[in-house]
Amino acid sequence: MTASARSIELTQIAASAADSKQASDLVALDVSGPLPLADIFLLASGRNERNVVAIGEEIIDRFAEQGVKILRREGLSEGRWALLDFGDVVVHVFHEEDRMYYSLERLWKDCPVVPIELASSEASA
């Protein structure tokens, strides 16, 4: 199974929102095969706690503009690892140190990468 067109569109919106708040190392993984509850994981890094919170809040705001409600959020107030669950798209915003420690890319290494197009910087593929 592959991610739906709507999930890919929402991932692009989330990536653009994250990029607007200077998120780094954006990676989208199609987890629809091994994980029936979601289509895509978007991973992003923030430089510090404040940056992680700003990235997460911007993504939530952009999705709200699209009429997409967040189902659950965890860890946003701490600014270390925020999990934002929008159903088919789950966004993980990490503090750089925590991203290296948990290494979700390694855990999901068998999942295909979803290309991300960013207007303001180079895209992570």
Name the residue range of residue 107's domain: 5-114
Angle at which helices 49-65 and 5-20 pack, to 10 degrees?
A: 140
Burial class (CB in 10 A: 0-12, 13-18, 19+), 56: buried
Domain for residue 99, yes or no? Answer: yes
| Cα separation of the two ends of the chain | 20
Confidence at 114, pLDDT banded by 50, 70, 90: very high
- Residues 7-53: tens digit of each pLDDT: 999 999 999 999 999 999 999 999 999 988 999 999 999 999 999 99
> Helical H runs in 26-71?
49-65
Domain for residue 44, yes or no? Answer: yes
Domain for residue 125, yes or no? Answer: no
CATH number for position 89 = 3.30.460.10
Number of domains in the chain: 1
Report the distance separating Cα 4 and Cα 9, nearest Å.
9
Q: What is the pTM of this model?
A: 0.91
Domain for residue 43, yes or no? Answer: yes
5 CB neighbour count, 10 Å cutoff: 8
Helix or strand (DSSP H, E) at 88: none
DSSP annotation of 64 reads H
Of 83, 78, 38, give the one whose Cα is nearest residue 59: 83
The pLDDT of residue 119 is 80
The pLDDT of residue 124 is 45
Domain for residue 110, yes or no? Answer: yes
